[in-house]
Amino acid sequence: MRAGWAESKRKRVLWAMIRNPFQSEGGAARYAAGRPYIHPLFMEQLKPWLGGHALGADVACGTGLSSVALADLVDRVLAFDASAAMLERAVPHPRVAYALAPAEALPLPDACLDMLTVAQGIHWFDRPRFYAEARRTLKPGGVLAVYDMFFLGELKGQPGFKVWMSDQYGERYPSPPRWPYALDEAQATSEGFGFHEERFDHAHTFNRTGLAAYLMSHSNTVAASDEGRETPESIAAWLDSELNQFLPGNTVGRFKFGGLLRVLRLLT
3-state secondary structure the chain: CHHHHHHHHHHHHHHHHCCCCCCCHHHHHHHHHHCCCCCHHHHHHHHHHCCCCCEEEEECCCCCHHHHHHCCCCCEEEEEECCHHHHHCCCCCCCEEEEECCCCCCCCCCCCEEEEEEECCHHHCCHHHHHHHHHHHEEEEEEEEEEEEEEEEEECCECHHHHHHHHHHHHHCCCCCCCCCCCCHHHHHHCCECCEEEEEEEEEEEEHHHHHHHHHCCHHHHHHHHCCCCCHHHHHHHHHHHHCCCCCCCCEEEEEEEEEEEEEEECC
> Has residue 128 got a pLDDT over 50?
yes
Say how far apart CA 89 and CA 24 lie, in whole Å. 12
Q: What is the pTM of this model?
A: 0.89
> Has residue 15 got a pLDDT over 70?
no
Q: What is the pLDDT of residue 19?
A: 65
pLDDT tens digits for range 34-85: 999 999 999 999 999 997 889 999 999 999 999 999 999 999 999 999 999 9
Q: What is the pLDDT of residue 9?
A: 52
Residues 6+ apart with CB under 8 A from 266: 134, 135, 138, 139, 140, 141, 142, 143, 144, 192, 193
Are 265 and 194 in contact by the 8 Å Cβ rule? The answer is: yes
Mean pLDDT of 198-202: 95
Say how far apart CA 104 and CA 219 lie, in whole Å. 21
Chain mean position to CA 134: 17
Q: What is the pLDDT of residue 105?
A: 97
> Has residue 6 got a pLDDT over 60?
no
Nearest alpha-carbon partner for 15 in 95, 129, 120, 131: 129
Minimum mean pLDDT range among 4-13, 21-30, 167-176, 242-251: 4-13
Question: Could you give the domains of the chain?
Answer: 2-265 (3.40.50.150)
Nearest alpha-carbon partner for 19 in 7, 27, 10: 27
> Has residue 175 got a pLDDT over 90?
no
- Percentage of the residues of the chain whose pLDDT score is greater than 70: 91
Mean pLDDT of 195-215: 97
Model confidence at 1, pLDDT cuts 50, 70, 90, reads very low
Say how far apart CA 228 and CA 168 lie, in whole Å. 20
Nearest alpha-carbon partner for 143 in 104, 115, 184, 180: 115
Say how far apart CA 146 and CA 47 lie, in whole Å. 14
